[in-house]
Copies of this chain bind each other. A is one copy, B any other.
């Protein structure tokens, strides 16, 4: 298949177009990888059969050896003949082993023992090798920006309207914290994934024919893959483990999408506080040569729009009739796409954020735009604290006057003089200069960065 004969944009454009990541994603998320994981499970199953005395050690070695040489194409060709994916896999192994070994290939297992376990293994490792590192890179970049800009005054915005001043570092520390919480959630969900080796209906019918403690056998197979068994299983592992994992993925994606939204709005022509860096030869528009668009921020938001709704499929797949119906089979194959999309978006976001252009002059200019009004909150609070019986209303009316031309602070200092005389020097200073009205922005930024850095220190950073 030619790359451009593909139908999924994920394949032909985003994943295949990302040379940096293609190789590593490939190892966990491609179909070739999935088949490799299935072969690994089949090998470990026979290894445990030997451990439990059901077959000889030579058989186990024979099977392990066979498993290591089988390609995805081989399995697909056999599937075309027998119409069953795991049976095809089993046949491919059987062809490569001795007659003595043949009976023990896949022995006592049902297809889903292999598939569920392989999926748990590769999703867990995809978290470790792809999701967490990519997100951690972004987390580190954000911590770096937050610390660097902890004192950069910026007007805070609620409802898209100027509210009270913050610092740009404080704004970024929001994402340090939210992304940090999602890193923990993904890590926890990944380590919570479970496998199974309990047979066709979860009852250990087959394995109990040959093994006294089939639960112990199941645990033994899985521990060879670093996994534990599902608390209960039918033909399949309880679907909640994957649902929790995907929730962690989707909710992390939303955090990044929110960051992307914030950045692209701050890049609006009229605001211009940040910008994606732009290559000298890069073209912004096919017809408007001057354009500099936040295309990467837009791309991240757009990928989120494409993938977030797929969580509904995950919830639909929590339902499977009786000991299992197959209506979750095709659909659950698409789950890896969600992982891929988040990996790609985290990577893109890190690339862009680490080169983010921050325009402090614009930030200052924008703050100045509302300089007068910003004092309305501290003015009302100080009036109240010093005994004004209706401070909010008094100040609200003053701001109405101020909209008609006069400077708010001028009006305030004249009309609220008796109260002003009671205020401390610092309080008066803040009323005169909104840039001082930033609460504990800088300290809080450092505290948030410290908190999350310490959280991840020993484990990831």
Copies of this chain, complex-wide, total 4
**Interface residue? A355 (CB, 8 A):** no
List residues of chain B with CB within 8 A of the CB of A284: 84, 396
Tell me the residues in window 261-303 of chain A with beta carbons closer than 8 Å to chain B beta carbons: 261-262, 264-271, 279-295, 298-299, 301-303
Q: Are A380 and B439 in contact (CB under 8 A)?
A: no
Most buried by B among A25, A303, A316: A316
Main SS of chain A's interface residues?
Answer: helix
For the complex, give the distance between the alpha carbons of A26 and B157 in Å: 36
Q: Are B289 and A340 in contact (CB under 8 A)?
A: no
| Partner among B99, B290, B319 whose Cβ is within 8 Å of the Cβ of A261 | B319
Chain A positions 26 through 67: 1 when the CB is less than 8 Å from some CB of chain B, otherwise 0:
100111100100000000000000000010000000000000
**Interface residue? A234 (CB, 8 A):** yes
Q: Would you give 21 A-B contacts (Cβ < 8 Å), ordered by A?
A: A8-B11, A86-B286, A102-B384, A108-B381, A111-B287, A158-B325, A159-B298, A160-B294, A161-B269, A162-B269, A165-B201, A176-B232, A199-B439, A214-B440, A232-B444, A244-B247, A269-B369, A289-B376, A289-B396, A290-B376, A303-B330
For A71, give the chain B residue with the smallest CB separation. Answer: B4
Distance to closest chain B CB from A217 (angstroms): 11
Answer whether A308 and B312 are a contact pair too, CB < 8 Å, given A10-B8, A208-B440, A209-B381: yes
List residues of chain B with CB within 8 A of the CB of A160: 264-265, 267-269, 294, 321-322, 325
**Interface residue? A390 (CB, 8 A):** yes
Q: Which of A75-83, A117-125, A133-141, A220-228 contacts B (4 or more CB under 8 A)?
A: A75-83
Tell me the residues in window 410-441 of chain A with beta carbons closer than 8 Å to chain B beta carbons: 427, 430, 437-441
Tell me the residues in window 301-321 of chain A with beta carbons closer than 8 Å to chain B beta carbons: 301-303, 305-306, 308-313, 315-321
**Interface residue? A132 (CB, 8 A):** no
List residues of chain B with CB within 8 A of the CB of A240: 178, 181-182, 185, 251, 255
Chain A positions 311 through 346: 1 when the CB is less than 8 Å from some CB of chain B, otherwise 0:
111011111111111111111011011001000000
**Interface residue? A156 (CB, 8 A):** yes
Number of A residues, CB within 8 Å of B: 200
Most buried by B among A207, A215, A299, A326: A326
**Interface residue? A129 (CB, 8 A):** no
Answer whether A207 and B439 are a contact pair too, CB < 8 Å, given A4-B73, A185-B244, A310-B310: yes
**Interface residue? A352 (CB, 8 A):** no
| Partner among B13, B163, B317 whose Cβ is within 8 Å of the Cβ of A31 | B13
**Interface residue? A366 (CB, 8 A):** yes
Q: Are A10 and B9 in contact (CB under 8 A)?
A: no
Most buried by B among A9, A13, A286, A324: A286
| Partner among B255, B269, B302 whose Cβ is within 8 Å of the Cβ of A331 | B302
Distance to closest chain B CB from A152 (angstroms): 13
List residues of chain B with CB within 8 A of the CB of A301: 327
Q: Are B381 and A290 in contact (CB under 8 A)?
A: no
Q: A12-B31, A289-B380 are in contact. List 5 more A-B contacts (CB 8 A).
A: A240-B255, A255-B318, A289-B393, A298-B326, A308-B312
For the complex, give the distance between the alpha carbons of A171 and B232 in Å: 10
